């Protein structure tokens, strides 16, 4: 099965604002590039560049584990 990339409706750029939801539309599905281990089929690497919101197409920065720790310290 081949997935078709959803056409980008929006060219707004919300990079450098790490968030688990889209900053523009509050969408929960953030599309990120991932690399799978060919033997275990587990994700062994992911990229932060090129992430976008599935709902509106805005460019976003997905969070990484350290972001939640920094938020707790504030």
Q: Identify whether the C-beta of residue 60 lies closer than 8 Å to the C-beta of residue 15.
A: yes
User: What pLDDT was estimated at residue 37?
Assistant: 96
Structural domain boundaries in the chain:
13-73
Give the Cα separation of 70 and 47 in Å (integer). 20
Q: Tell me which of 38 and 5 has the higher pLDDT.
A: 38
Which three-class secondary structure string do you get for 4-66? CCCCCCCCCEEEEEECCCCCCCCCCCEECCEEECCCCCCEEEECCCCCEECCCCCEEECCCHH
Could you report the per-residue pLDDT of 45-73, keeping only the tens digit for each? 999 888 999 999 999 999 887 776 665 56
User: What pLDDT was estimated at residue 5?
Assistant: 58
Could you report the per-residue pLDDT of 34-49, keeping only the tens digit for each? 999 999 999 999 998 8
User: What pLDDT was estimated at residue 55?
Assistant: 93
């Amino acid at each position: 099965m081949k997935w078709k990339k959803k056409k980008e409706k929006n060219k707004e750029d919300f990079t450098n604002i790490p968030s688990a939801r889209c900053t523009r539309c509050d969408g929960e599905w953030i599309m990120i590039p991932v690399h799978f281990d060919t033997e275990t089929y587990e994700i062994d690497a992911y990229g932060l560049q090129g992430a976008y919101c599935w709902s509106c197409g805005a460019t976003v920065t997905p969070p990484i584990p350290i972001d939640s720790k920094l938020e707790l310290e504030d």
